[in-house]
Amino acid sequence: MGGNRIQVGIVGAGPAGLLLGHLLHLNGIDSLIVENRSREYVIDRVRAGVLEQGTVDLLQAMGVGDGLQQAGLRHEGLHVSFRGSRHRIDLAGLTGGKAITVYGQNEVVRDLIDARTATTRPLHFEAERVSVSDLDSSSPVLRFQHGGAEHEVHCDYIAGCDGFHGICRPAIPEGVLTVYERIYPFAWLGILSEAAPSSEELVYTYHDRGFALFSMRSPKVTRLYFQVPPDEPIEHWSDEAIWTEMLERMTTQDGWQPNVGRIIQKSVTPMRSFVAAPMRYGRLFLAGDSAHIVPPTGAKGLNLAASDVLVLARALKAFYQHGRTEWLQEYSDVCLRRVWKAQRFSWWMTSTLHRFPDGHAFDHQRQLADLDYLTTSRAAMTSLAEQYVGLPADVSFESAGLTD
């Protein structure tokens, strides 16, 4: 049995866990990251693509922005399409020059794994039977099997960065957390296609047949989604049927449509809004999807994971460098203010752009009016723009040990 001590035990090597590990490293704080999947699985998992301005700035300030700098696609606007017409929202013009960057989550994760490996601090993939205990003691314990050995690691703190289906949130005793949840009556079918993007910017479409989204990963790869019933088996959709539906929903009156290419990946993602509060129990801190889920329409999930760990890194730095614990105490409250604003935005984007199966004709007309208002009112466009590029950070980079 391998027994030892570490300052911070991190469960999960997704964006939250890897970002936290690197922020702690930059502050001279030691951590152990334990991940139950393989390195390849974690890197290849196709997910988010939109980074807020603040997330881009954070990655740059952490010194892990080279790949992003080279291959990230900066977008200063986006399109909203309904009744067959596309309307551009000038994100940069409405926010004093802020933008989003399209850069695959798998690239972000690859860059962070490379950075972690270069530090030589521990990152264990394919760990089994991961568990946490003694969370309300002064020395919580992280246990796992790895490389044929049992490990029992005593930590000062544990960060639960293990996503929605992880083990950390369920390790919190019953009655501590309040859960807020909304499940939507649809899912997203998403594809990656070997086709040059036919628009330089994203297109969010509201169509009589339901929501569709045009995005991209590179000058050669298009990323597309459309709304399907919840739990829709992916086998129900041949590649040909996917293209027929995609083009039906996305083609606009001026003839714009996505380029068709070979489909190289396809999957169905359920949609939910979820918050578990507080994001802390004893010496366990939850960050990212382990504490909250947003429906993907607002492109906020990865960005919230980044803002959570910035707040956590600031608190742990203050503890290790000055013995101060008040930022640890405030962690959940500071995160949740931002989380709820992102929840509200994601819910609004989702409710405005999707067809609800039980929706009334009234709702359909109201949604069209909402989109008409959005695309003709500077105030409404500004509101969308400032939320889409990301609301200002609640804590400074400097307080987390970075140069702004």
Residues that bind ligand FAD (CB under 6 A): 11-17, 34-37, 42, 47-50, 105, 127, 130, 161-163, 166-167, 190, 269, 288-289, 296, 299-303, 305
In angstroms, rounded to a whole number, what is the distance separating the alpha carbons of residues 282 and 266? 40
Which of ligand FAD, ligand DHB, none does 346 bind, CB closer than 5 to 8 A by kind?
none
CB 226 within 8 A of CB 212: yes
> Minimal distance in Å, beta carbon 228 to ligand FAD?
13
> Minimal distance in Å, beta carbon 143 to ligand DHB?
35
**Could you give the C-alpha distances from 118 to 1, 23, 25, 30, 306, in angstroms and in order?**
27, 14, 11, 14, 21
Active site residue 75: yes
> Minimal distance in Å, beta carbon 295 to ligand DHB?
8
Single out the catalytic residue among 15, 140, 197, 296: 296
Which of ligand DHB, ligand FAD, none does 42 bind, CB closer than 5 to 8 A by kind?
ligand FAD
Which of ligand FAD, ligand DHB, none does 29 bind, CB closer than 5 to 8 A by kind?
none
Radius of gyration (Cα) for the chain, nearest Å?
A: 21
CA angle 137–140–145, rounded 5-degree value: 155
Non-local CB neighbours of 296 within 8 Å, separated by 6+ positions: 48, 188, 225, 269, 271, 346
Based on CB atoms, which residue is closest to ligand FAD, 49 or 258? 49
Non-local CB neighbours of 46 within 8 Å, separated by 6+ positions: 104, 105, 106, 190, 192, 265, 267
Active site residue 146: no
Active site residue 296: yes
Active site residue 204: yes
Which of ligand FAD, ligand DHB, none does 297 bind, CB closer than 5 to 8 A by kind?
ligand DHB
Interacting residue ranges for ligand DHB, rule: CB under 6 A: 48-50, 202, 213, 215, 223, 296-297, 299
Q: Within 62-124, where are the H helices?
A: 66-71, 91-94, 105-119
CB 51 within 8 A of CB 107: no
Single out the catalytic residue among 25, 75, 151, 354: 75
> What residues are annotated to the active site?
75, 204, 296, 300, 388
